[in-house]
Amino acid sequence: MMIIEQIEVTMMSVFCYLLCDEETREAALIDPAGDFDDIFEVVSRNGALVRYIINTHGHWDHTSGNAHAAKRTGATLLVHDADAEHARSVPNRILSLARGGGVSAGPVRLLHGGEAIPLGSRELKIIHTPGHTPGGICILADGNLFTGDTLFTEGMGRTDMPGGSYNDLMNSIQNIILRLPDATKIWPGHNYGRFPVSTVKEQKRYYT
């Protein structure tokens, strides 16, 4: 069984997620952007051994906690190759320092989409979903999809920033996410809707 903890952090209402294999306690943190006392209270409560830090995309509001979290856990950072420069940018480095980390996030693994990341007895599937950024990804685990800023429970990510593409984002939503089974749970990257969790079936009401 996969333990899922949804943790709202920072003034940007970012959702950080702890994914923890119940058997081995191996874990991943998705977008640990700040409010580290809250995040690591959840990590401690679950006895989680954080192996990976995963960025759903390279924007600072999701990546600026990378160095702090990596320093605290020794975990490997996973980020899509197309967004790696975002994660290394000067604003991200400055914010990382302000939040108690260094300028380096430690070991880094660049993703391309299609990877299956082992996590204890479970598996995290990396799905490339460009549009909000060129390197946006979703993470699929046991019927749960962590969508970052690709798709919220009511709305989708912006496409008016550098690297954004409305056509690519709609393709990612309609031809990748909404082709998953209807019961797939949608866990978004921000608390921007009335509900913190949705489903593929629910999202089809808006995008098909």
Domain limits, the chain = 2-207
Give the pLDDT confidence of 148-191 residue by residue, as tens digits: 999 999 999 999 988 999 999 999 999 999 999 999 999 999 99
The DSSP annotation for 31-59 comes to: ---S-HHHHHHHHHHTT-EEEEEE-SS--
CB 118 within 8 A of CB 141: no
Identify which of 47, 5, 49, 13 has the alpha carbon closest to the alpha carbon of residue 33. Answer: 13
The pLDDT value recorded for residue 67 is 86
Assign domain 2-207 to its CATH architecture: 4-Layer Sandwich (3.60)
Q: For residue 200, is pLDDT > 80?
A: yes
Q: Is 137 helix (H, G, I), strand (E, B) or coil?
A: strand
Q: For residue 136, is pLDDT > 50?
A: yes
Mean pLDDT for the stretch of residues 52-80: 91
Instruction: Write the Ramachandran bin of 3: left for phi over 0, alpha for psi from -120 to 50, otherwise beta.
Output: beta
Which pLDDT band holds residue 69 (cuts at 50, 70, 90)? very high
**What is the residue-averaged pLDDT of the chain?**
90
Q: Is the dihedral of CA 11, 95, 18, 39 positive or negative?
A: negative
Give the pLDDT confidence of 101-129 residue by residue, as tens digits: 444 456 788 999 999 999 999 999 999 99
- ∠ CA 74-61-137, nearest 5°, is 75
CB 55 within 8 A of CB 44: no
The pLDDT value recorded for residue 97 is 44
For the whole model, what pTM was predicted? Answer: 0.91
Q: For residue 24, is pLDDT > 50?
A: yes
Which two three-digit tokens encode residue 77?
């950072």
How far, in Å, CA of 58 to CA of 79, rounded? Answer: 8
Q: For residue 98, is pLDDT > 60?
A: no
